[in-house]
Structure 1
Amino acid sequence: MPAGVEPTPVQRVLEAGVLLPPVGAVTGWGALSWYGGHWFSGLARDGQTPLPVPIALPRRSIRPQPLMLICEERFSLRETTLVDGLRVTSAVRSAAFAMRYARSLRDAVVALDMACFHDLVSIDEVRVWVDGHPSYTGIEQARAAVLLADENAWSPMEVGMRLDWPGGSVLTNRPIFDPEGRHIATPDLVDPVAGVVGEYDSDLHLTGSRRAKDLRREEDYRACGLEQVTMVAADVRDPGPYLERVRTAYARAARRPASDRRWTLERPTSWVATHTVARRRSLDATERAIWLRYQAS
């Protein structure tokens, strides 16, 4: 390839794909990226080191090379399809592959949640595949990930925040309204019983208009009777301070009188629910442009 060609995830998948024999297919993160899943960057945890493109083959028919990770597992060509001229395994099998070969259970949950984010799979679809392939490598990790997955996480960092949350049962990205039906905000996490919300703030949130918007949102939460917990990038390496902030927020929320609660998760009739893959898939193109703008960010 010319030196000026940027090695984007899709470009790397394409370069591996042209080497495929007729019985092979791109799978795992490579297939999910090719399907349009922008969260599947093909990078290691450091965010810089490229991972090899996973290739599914029923038998060894090409030489291994650094560009590709060749996996010889039994599979049927019925589980493959041509997408823009490239043969890939189905989205469900690709997601299951990413989960089975993930470095940890946490990474497996992230893979499934992000495949659901793009509506490439549903949790039930992956559960059926996992249950139907009990002897495959890594299937126990995939089965455990299915139990922890959520169809409405919007970023990998949100997934980690949810998995680390030490409080009660939390919901992901549910819009919150005031008693008159006006939209207050859509927090990353909300405990609807305790009245605690969680937000992940990346480095982009630290300066300028984004920071000012975050401060207004925090004030809005406080005014309607919600307690906010913020997770930042440093908490990923050392979650101790974040966990302590969650516990402190729950303690503050417990001291609030019921009369302070001026918020609800009950949607006005004009608001379309999009918190499941099935609901999002049912939207037409116009509705998707209105209600799923976050998917393109």
Structure 2
Amino acid sequence: MPFIPPLDDPWPGLVPPVRVDPAGKVGPTRKQARGPGWRRTSRGLYVPAEVDGSDLRQRIVEAAAVLPSYGGVAGWAALAWCGGRWFDGLHPGGASRRPVTLVTSCQDVRSQAGITISAERLDPREIVVVQGLRVTIPARAVAFEARYARSLGAAVECIDMAAYSDLVSLEECAQYAAKLNGWTGIPRFREAIPLADENAWSPQEVFMRRVWTVDAGMPRPLCNRPVFDENGRHIGTPDLIDPVAGVVGEYEGKLHLEGAQRSRDVRREGLFRGLGLEYVTMLAGDCASPSDFIRRLQEAYARSQWIPPEDRRWRMQPPPWWTDTSTVHSRRTLPEWERARLLRYRAA
């Protein structure tokens, strides 16, 4: 059985579609279905007009109603339903919605507005029921997304963000990929796995890591690893760190530019620099054109070479009291109360 984090009951506020009922008891009559009080979700299925069709979970419920006797919700929608925080069902930039994919194998089901059909073969062991909906297991859902991703970077982001929610580990991805010889897009999935990381906390961090290594050509940094001083005091957990060169990288979006958050960021930078670490930030504007960030990163690496060894006072080895949460395995083994306590800071 795949690991699926404990979920709040997703059904309050969600409305499953119903078919026309001549008696008007369990669904609208034909006349009512044609009126303003009902909204058609797919062929022959309706919900009351006031139901919000833009809600992520409602969209998945409406699409799942089309499933035949065999099959399940696939791809991003399966990951979102299983608790994947970063799978919002939107195209890059958030301008439009992605369709919900249903995998139905050999069942004859047609695509329609907001729903696409995958006829790829489906092992019945790869279907699970989560909170009342049939979905594909996370490893298959991640593989589907990565295989059909628009780019290698998008495939890496998918794996990273599924690992963020502990839906898959890199080992599980590799084991699943080994079974998919000849499948569409499998070379991309396999190429993405060793580039992925189980401890990235946001898509922006994934992008920054890619620019750091691919575009700037710098050594691969560690993701969200705690930094300590000589006395074992936790100084901070930077988005990225090269512990050999002593360079820290942080992503700062719009929320970081003013108010109390900006004050905390400035103090945090001072603490890192006080330990002899060089510090570089990626700003939201760098995502469209990262050339300025690359220049700042190269300058930080150049400066780090001149820091004397005696001034490099940071430590990467955690003290005995520290609880590691850097891998999917370490997070899955946490008791639920400790998981809630230790992982809450990732949402900040």
TM-score range, shorter chain: over 0.9
Question: Offset of 1:60 from its aligned partner?
Answer: 4.5
The Cα offsets for residues 91-135 of structure 1, whole Å up to 9 and x where unpaired, read as 110011110111111000000000000000000101111111111
Which residue in the other structure is 1:116 paired with? 163
SS in 1 for 2:231: coil
Q: Which ranges in structure 1 are unaligned for 5 or more consecutive residues?
A: none
Larger Rg: 2
More helix by share: 1
Greater RCO structure (CA 8 Å; 6+ sep): 1
Contact (CA 8 Å) 1:117, 1:295: kept in 2 or not? no
Q: Does 2:206 align with 1:159?
A: yes
Mapped partners of 1:112, 1:269: distance in 2: 31
Contact (CA 8 Å) 1:100, 1:108: kept in 2 or not? yes
Which residue in the other structure is 1:266 paired with? 317
TM-score using structure 2 length: 0.83
The Cα offsets for residues 208-242 of structure 1, whole Å up to 9 and x where unpaired, read as 10011001111111111111110011111101111
Superposition map of 1:30-179 within 5 A: 30-165=77-212, 166=216, 167-179=218-230
Which residue in the other structure is 2:57 paired with? 10
Which residue in the other structure is 2:250 paired with? 199
Mapped partners of 2:347, 2:203: distance in 1: 15
Which residue in the other structure is 1:232 paired with? 283
Contact (CA 8 Å) 1:151, 1:276: kept in 2 or not? yes
Amino acid at match of 2:256: H
Contact (CA 8 Å) 1:118, 1:295: kept in 2 or not? no
TM-score using structure 1 length: 0.97
Mapped partners of 2:83, 2:279: distance in 1: 33
Question: Offset of 1:8 from its aligned partner?
Answer: 2.2
Question: Offset of 1:6 from its aligned partner?
Answer: 5.5
Question: Offset of 1:246 from its aligned partner?
Answer: 0.5
Amino acid at match of 1:233: A
Q: Which ranges in structure 2 are unaligned for 5 or more consecutive residues?
A: 1-46
Amino acid at match of 1:107: A
Amino acid at match of 1:11: Q
Residues 75, 140 of structure 1: alpha-carbon distance in 2 compared, 3 angstrom cutoff: same
Mapped partners of 1:62, 1:287: distance in 2: 44
The Cα offsets for residues 59-80 of structure 1, whole Å up to 9 and x where unpaired, read as 2522211211211101111100
SS in 2 for 1:36: coil
Which residue in the other structure is 1:209 paired with? 260
Mapped partners of 2:257, 2:274: distance in 1: 22
The Cα offsets for residues 183-215 of structure 1, whole Å up to 9 and x where unpaired, read as 111000000001000000011101110011001
SS in 2 for 1:64: coil
Which residue in the other structure is 1:190 paired with? 241
Percentage identity across paired residues of the two chains: 47
SS in 1 for 2:85: coil
Which residue in the other structure is 1:292 paired with? 343
Question: Offset of 1:296 from its aligned partner?
Answer: 5.0
Contact (CA 8 Å) 1:178, 1:184: kept in 2 or not? yes
SS in 1 for 2:207: helix
Pairwise CA RMSD: 1.2
Mapped partners of 1:142, 1:4: distance in 2: 37
Mapped partners of 1:67, 1:192: distance in 2: 46
Which residue in the other structure is 2:303 paired with? 252
Mapped partners of 2:347, 2:257: distance in 1: 22
Contact (CA 8 Å) 1:170, 1:189: kept in 2 or not? yes
Deviates more, 1:18-27 or 1:55-64: 55-64
Contact (CA 8 Å) 1:93, 1:129: kept in 2 or not? yes
Question: Offset of 1:286 from its aligned partner?
Answer: 2.2
SS in 1 for 2:197: coil
SS in 1 for 2:241: strand
Mapped partners of 2:62, 2:337: distance in 1: 35
SS in 1 for 2:112: coil
SS in 2 for 1:255: coil
Question: Offset of 1:295 from its aligned partner?
Answer: 4.8
Mapped partners of 1:15, 1:153: distance in 2: 31
Question: Offset of 1:48 from its aligned partner?
Answer: 2.6
